[in-house]
Structure 1
């Protein structure tokens, strides 16, 4: 299964420790997306960037420091996997592609 989410200008992203949410960081704020429904569940327009590989969560992740991967500006890609490697995330040209490995 592959799901695509259009999100412009992402500079960093990561999964929460429980693998329920994807948090994205862009030049226009942060967004949180449910990994069950792929719907956005929180949005903050305050501009804040990762500090030492983490970003402060919002919405259902409020108070959680979430590890994030930053975009590779040379390739224009952002790639990472969930902690259990069940999900693979690739961001390129404004689109996140999320793949779930089969059980």
Structure 2
């Protein structure tokens, strides 16, 4: 489950509106909480720790969700780079040789 969805579920389990959560978390607006929950903004680690406290989530669980998302993003980025790099490294004469074989 994406971190943004997990955060939204935890806020809802805490019976808090986005405005109430924003007020309890400090200098945030409900629009920012909405953006985080939609995956448009990334929360800082400081904010994730505050959310763990406010939403009554074990800090270890919040950390594990954060790491899981970071790993998924790293794998996607590495895969994209790998595939793109592989395409760029095919020499032009190699493409011509392939074309001439048909």
Instruction: Give the structure with higher Rg (CA).
Output: 2
TM-score range, shorter chain: under 0.3
Structure number having the greater helix percentage: 2
Structure number having the greater strand percentage: 1
| TM-score (norm: length of structure 2) | 0.25
| TM-score (norm: length of structure 1) | 0.25
